[in-house]
A and B are shown apart, each in its own frame.
Chain A
Amino acid sequence: MKIPLLLLQAGIAVLAAPLVSGFVRRVKNALRMRQGAALVQPYRNIAKYMRKEEVVSETASWIFRWTPSVVLGSTLAALMFVPVFSFSLSAAGMGDVLSLFFLFSLGRFFLALAGLDAGSAFGGMGSSREMFIASFVEPAAVLAVAVVAAHSSSSAAEPLVRSMGMSFSGMIAAASLFMVVLAETSRIPVDNQETHLELTMIHEAMLLEYSGPSLAMLETAAHAKQLIWFSLLGAILWPWPIGSSSGLSAVACAAFFVLKIILCAIVVGLTEIGLAKMRLFRVTDFLGLAFLFSVLALVVSGLGY
């Protein structure tokens, strides 16, 4: 019974994910008094890439060809572990919230290799920067989730969120997770999605050699990954009403979910507008702070707050 529902949930989430990116852009453009692209522009982009021919570098190996599938596949699998609307595979005993990070790492690993594989100078720079940043992102993210796990004495995603409720340590963990989300969704102050300057890119630099349907897959994966992070952040900041036991109908759950994502998107948009991008090596300070918050949250939760 659960499996088809889970697939349905994941399917809806993937289809809706580009809308979130479109929305963040709308928020930013409204603040800049710009007309900007339509809300559905990310869909148009994906549709455009699907129609386009694919060009593959002569030096590229199978890694380059297979990476889009691995990245999209692992992101979709990750989507299963997050209680987006209501259900989580973790409840079905197939893994817990830590699997999420492993799945992300798998995608990242392949993407970094693919960046090098194409043989362009920019890909290599992107890969090295991505791994550099990942080494700071992952500990902070895992620890932030560990705080929540400590509350429920379980690392399974569904009871984890359900049992939590608002807490002081949860708030601190959310602060840490927010910084992680900015880094993981390639946003200012860590990365800049809007830039055309190859030399400053991080995530985009790894994708520079991709075109056509492969690029469409990678972009879809990036949208989905962003949705996962937003929903995780939302779940920790406002833990209700997730899970089937909350007594609310699925429709109400979904409505709350959408509300949370919108709030996240607005906050992210505001942050991006208000800040300049950091110098690359300053990112360590930024993510170091996130790690510190995570540790602090863990201590506070150990004290019972």
Chain B
Amino acid sequence: MKTFMGVIEELRAQGVMIVETFELHPDEVVIRLKLEDFHRACLFAHKTFSSAVMAMFAADERVAKNAFEIYCVFLARDFQKWCIFTADIPQDRPLFPSLARDIHSASFFEREIQEMFGLEPQGHPDKRRLHLHDEVWPKGLFPLRKDFVLPAHVAPDGVYGFNRVAGEGIFEVPVGPVHAGIIGPGHFRFSAAGEPIVNLEIRLGFTHRGVEKVFEHKTFDDAVGLAECVAGDTAFGHSWAFCQAVEKASALKVPARALYERAICLELERLYNHFADIGGIAVDVGFSFAAQFASVLKEKILRLNQRLTGSRYLKGVNRIGGVRRAFSRQDIQALLCEILSVCDDHGELKQMLLASVSFMDRVDDTGVLRQKTARDLGIVGLAARASGIAVDLRKTFPDVYAGSDFRMITQERGDVLSRLRVRMEEVDESARLIIYFADRLADIEGALAANFSLAAPACALGAVEAWRGPVLYWVKVADGQIDRCKIVDPSFHNWPGLSFAVLGNIIPDFPVCNKSFDLSYAGNDL
């Protein structure tokens, strides 16, 4: 059995010069490389750990060392470690070798680094802007650099070039960014031959708010609140991932009681979102009765959230070091009762949907994302599990889930039905977990949060398997403040998956494919 460091030795044996290795946290190894070895090392990790690029980002360290830092995060599942490569990019030569041609999941990250820091990914096949639209943002202005000042007037002059699909009978259908429903803004450009979709190009970034910039120099308490607002439907997942990062950076031991409460909240968040999506899928194929049923279940969970935490969307629960509020015995009783009753109703809902011929005809074999495609694109979370990729951070890093006998849900076919089935089974599993955690919680007394005080400058990665997939926060703290915060919402990985899943499907089936992924605009655009 190889050890993680043994694998890294292999890398060294291949001639990659490893400058430094930090093992600051048990589940996280940072390996400093020379920039010229960066590409080779990343490729090695990508293949050895069969991991997508889970995050890739830069940091502006020009004041300290006249250089930018670039980071690339891989998940070494077999070793239960995050493997983070980093290298310095000298400020007078702002270039780095692009990974995008070899690792697709690096592509969007590199485009993001390019527009945010002005670091050019050399050899990247697609250097168009991602979030800072050419129509509104001028060239040569890089907001995540430390010396960035927002000018009073900007004079943008660019236009975005969409990919063109030409051919007899091919026509384009542009949809959005403003949609008919109450959803986020995104532009979808279909190239269709009759009804079947030949190509779908998704342009996002309309809700770019500069979240990562706003994090810088925030106090920690404020930053927790900010993390809750990054993606509204994953408020808890985001705040936990952020808290986890800061807690790791300051070597804080979170009390078990807080961890159980957090786990309950995370699963409640999963429940209400899964119900919303099960209902949403039913709405999008016009099966309104089942949709109504699902919305009742969602509402029950939201009210439960309100009762337990005072917030329907689980905001204001987390704080650095633990949680703010204790669940009382009565609350836990109510929680158990309600979860059991919702579980029963969910059984009925499942039966109603899966036994309806007209419904099954719509979802079965629709929007297939094949496992190979999903792997190549670096799809994560629920969508990946529906395509047969068995990755779940709750399994890889059990932590509070250890002892709960957590069962990862996977499906093989990657169609809308598979994603629906993953949701349905995860609902049952989450309900079971909540009951387990609630039982544990009932026996525990003690502090709700550890005392937080930040000693030394440090950085750490926080990661939580939220309902949509892994939410990653890489936080660097210096001078008692947040110096850099990189956020990766699973939506950022999965949007390309949608463009591939819809190929060959007819245009009227797009909404249900889209809903089966249910990706966040806000979490993607940041």
- A interface with B by C-beta (< 8 Å): 28, 31-34, 121-122, 124-125, 188-189, 192, 194-200, 272-282
Interface contact B289-A32, CB-CB below 8 Å:
yes
B289 surroundings in chain A (CB, below 8 A): 31-32, 273-274
Please encode chain B, from 352 to 393, with 1 for each CB lying within 8 Å of some chain A CB and 0 for all others.
000010110110001000000000000000000000000000
Q: Which of B172, B288, B507, B509 contacts A28 (CB 8 A)?
A: B288
The answer to whether B506 and A281 touch across the interface, beta carbons within 8 angstroms, is yes
Cα-based distance from A199 to B512 in the complex (angstroms):
11
In chain B, residues 191-211, which have Cβ atoms closer than 8 Å to a Cβ of chain A? 195
A276/B511 in contact, CB under 8 A: no
- Distance from A186 Cβ to chain B, minimum over Cβ atoms (Å): 11
Q: Does the CB pair B358–A278 fall under 8 Å?
A: yes
B125 at the interface (CB under 8 A from A): no
A32–B506 CB distance below 8 A: no
Q: How many pairs of residues, A versus B, come closer than 8 Å at their CB atoms? A: 78
Bound state CA distance, A192 and B356, in angstroms? 18
Q: Which residues of B contact A200 (CB under 8 A)?
A: 284, 286, 508, 511
> Please, which residues of chain A bring their CB within 8 A of the CB of B510?
199
The reply on B292 being an interface residue by CB < 8 A is yes
Whether A280 pairs with B506 at a CB distance below 8 angstroms is yes
Contact (Cβ within 8 A) A276 B359: yes
Q: Is the CB of B356 within 8 A of A121?
A: no
Q: How far is the CB of A24 from chain B (nearest CB, A)?
A: 13
User: Shortest CB–CB separation between residue A34 and chain B, in angstroms?
Assistant: 7
CA distance A281 to B362 in the complex (A): 11
**Which bracket fits the contact residues of B?**
20 to 34
Question: Can you give 29 A-B contacts (C-beta < 8 A)?
Answer: A31-B289, A121-B171, A121-B172, A121-B173, A121-B174, A122-B173, A188-B286, A189-B358, A192-B286, A194-B288, A196-B181, A197-B511, A199-B173, A199-B508, A199-B510, A200-B284, A200-B508, A200-B511, A272-B288, A273-B289, A274-B289, A275-B287, A276-B358, A277-B286, A277-B358, A277-B362, A278-B361, A279-B366, A279-B506
Using CB atoms, name the residue of chain B closest to A274. Answer: B289
7 nearest A-B residue pairs (beta carbon)? A277-B286, A276-B287, A196-B180, A276-B359, A121-B173, A200-B508, A276-B358
Within 8 Å of chain A (Cβ to Cβ): is B400? no
Min Cβ gap B364→A in Å is: 10
**Chain B residues within an 8 Å CB radius of A197:** 180-181, 284, 511
B165 at the interface (CB under 8 A from A): no
In the complex, A34→B299 CA distance in Å?
14
Given contacts A121-B172, A192-B286, A197-B181, contact A275 B358 (CB under 8 A): yes
The answer to whether B456 has its CB under 8 Å from any CB of chain A is no
Given A279-B362, A280-B195, check contact A199 B287 (CB 8 Å).
no
Closest chain B residue to A275 by CB distance? B358
Are B286's CB and A276's CB within 8 A? yes
What's the least CB distance linking B189 to chain A, in Å? 10
Interface residues of B (CB under 8 A from A): 171-175, 180-181, 195, 282, 284-289, 292, 356, 358-359, 361-362, 366, 506-511
Whole-angstrom distance between the alpha carbons of A124 and B174 in the complex? 12
Answer whether A199 and B286 are a contact pair too, CB < 8 Å, given A34-B292, A276-B362, A279-B361: no
| Residues in A whose Cβ lies below 8 Å from that of B362 | 276-279
Q: For residue B287, which residues in chain A have a CB less than 8 angstroms away from its CB?
A: 275-277
Q: Name the A residues within 8 Å of B284 (CB-CB).
A: 197, 200
Contacts of A280 in B (CB 8 A): 195, 506, 508
A199 touches B292 (CB 8 A): no
Please, how many angstroms separate the alpha-carbon atoms of A275 and B511 in the complex?
A: 18
Q: Contacts A197-B284, A198-B180, A276-B356 given; 4 further ones with Cβ under 8 A?
A: A192-B286, A199-B173, A276-B286, A280-B508
Q: Is the CB of B361 within 8 A of A199?
A: no
In the complex with contacts A276-B358, A279-B361, A199-B175 CB distance below 8 A? yes
- CB contacts (< 8 Å) of A188 on chain B: these are 286
Verify B286–A125 contact, CB threshold 8 A: no
Q: Are A32 and B173 in contact (CB under 8 A)?
A: no
Q: How far is the CB of A40 from chain B (nearest CB, A)?
A: 22
Closest residue of B by beta carbon distance from A190:
B286
Residues of chain B with a CB closer than 8 A to A33's CB: 292
Residues of B with C-beta under 8 A to A32: 288-289, 292
Residue ID in chain A nearest B353 by CB atoms: A276
Task: Tell me the bound Cα distance from A280 to B361 in angstroms.
Answer: 11
**Once the chains bind, are A198 and B358 in contact (CB under 8 Å)?**
no
> Could you say which residues of chain B place their CB within 8 Å of the CB of A194?
286, 288
Chain A residues in 8 Å Cβ range of B172: 121
| Cβ–Cβ < 8 Å partners of A274 in chain B | 289
Query: What is the bound-complex CA distance between A117 and B195, given in angstroms?
Result: 20
Assembled-state Cα–Cα distance A194/B282 (Å):
13
Q: When chains A and B are docked, how far (Å) is the Cα of A194 from the Cα of B289?
A: 13
Give the docked Cα–Cα distance between A126 and B197 (Å).
16
Query: Which residues of B have CB within 8 Å of A125?
Result: 173, 507
A276 near B285: Cβ-Cβ < 8 Å: yes
Q: Give the residues in chain A near B173, CB-CB below 8 Å.
A: 121-122, 125, 199
Max chain A Cβ within 10 angstroms of own Cβ: one of B171, B510, B511: B511
Whether A273 and B288, one on each chain, are in contact in the complex, defined by CB atoms closer than 8 angstroms, is yes
Among A32, A192, A194, A276, chain B packs the most CB atoms within 10 A around the CB of A276
Question: Distance (Å) between the CB of A199 and the closest chain B CB?
Answer: 5
